[in-house]
Chains A and B, each alone.
Chain A
């Protein structure tokens, strides 16, 4: 028994633990998600986070220990953001003809998401650094962290809010669009990419090719628009006050 405890202590201290547990849990959850025909509630990010989080809390493993291994997955978010340029380039003809409408929709939609988050958080009396971390939540996690840092928020918290936002979109987008009578796959995908970034886009990709392509465009545009406009908006607010 004592040897088992020592083995567990060794394994959970080594970076191997965080990396292995992340991949194993994700692969399992993803295969269940596919078996269930991509049901929104079986979202692989949601279940991976819940399962890994429960294990860490139950075994009193600090997040830093887990992240020592999981960072090798986390760093891939950076090149993945760069890789978003590829679907944008593939759709360059569409961007040229529909570009103005897409940029306008992404700007208004993104501003609505960020603005309503800040206003609601302020109305509900949340602390200032939490509000600053909420503002960039509709952009993809690594970008949200970068923007939050520039706004004076908490980057780690911004990443969590971004992931939660993505899950909300991936889980409930279908029902919201059906309710609003939005049937065009391109429009549905674009809205998912704008308001719930990579996790919404990943969901759109699994559901329909057109939705996935438009979600990719939206994701790229949202990242560009938010990283320019949010710091400007924050500066304007500070200047007005």
Chain B
């Protein structure tokens, strides 16, 4: 029941986000505004347990939710056969660049401010 109540609230927050995004024609997608709206709602303690239960349930099965979109590749097999090798090369290289740059920048930034935070490791 806790998780269900929390789930209803997550959907309400998403709907509120979609509404705001469209009304104000913001560049930010609805669910992202819903994420921002979650913070003030979480401050309200009676809802905190429900939101925690629903969030943990959803996030522990996050991989599953990507499957239908991923299967969508079969609707674009023409594009894949025309540009497949190039697309794969772009995705591989740019993802590695993204991973490496993020990790190296964060390590450098945290390394400078680290001494008192070493206990985290």
Contact = CB atoms under 8 A, between A and B. Distances in A.
A binds B: yes
A187 interface: yes
A70 B28 CA distance: 26
Given A86-B55, A191-B99, A157 B65 contact: no
Nearest to B16: A82
A117 interface: yes
Contacts of B28: 224, 227-228
Contact of A142 (B31, B75, B77, B91): B31
A86 B79 contact: no
Chain B: interface residue count, which band?
A: 35 or more
Given A78-B30, A108-B101, A48 B70 contact: yes
Interface string B61-80: 01111111111111111010
A180 B27 CA distance: 36
Interface string A227-241: 110011000000000
Contact of A106 (B35, B72, B102, B107): B102
Contacts of A142: 29, 31
Contacts of A182: 103-104, 107
Interface in B19-49: 27-32, 34-39, 42
A205 B63 CA distance: 11
Q: Which of A80, A130, A168, A198 has the most CB of B within 10 A?
A: A80
17 contacts: A56-B71, A76-B65, A82-B31, A83-B10, A88-B35, A98-B110, A104-B109, A113-B94, A125-B86, A159-B70, A160-B73, A172-B95, A182-B104, A195-B95, A218-B102, A228-B28, A232-B27
5 closest cross-chain pairs (CB), A and B: A113-B98, A109-B102, A195-B98, A85-B38, A146-B29
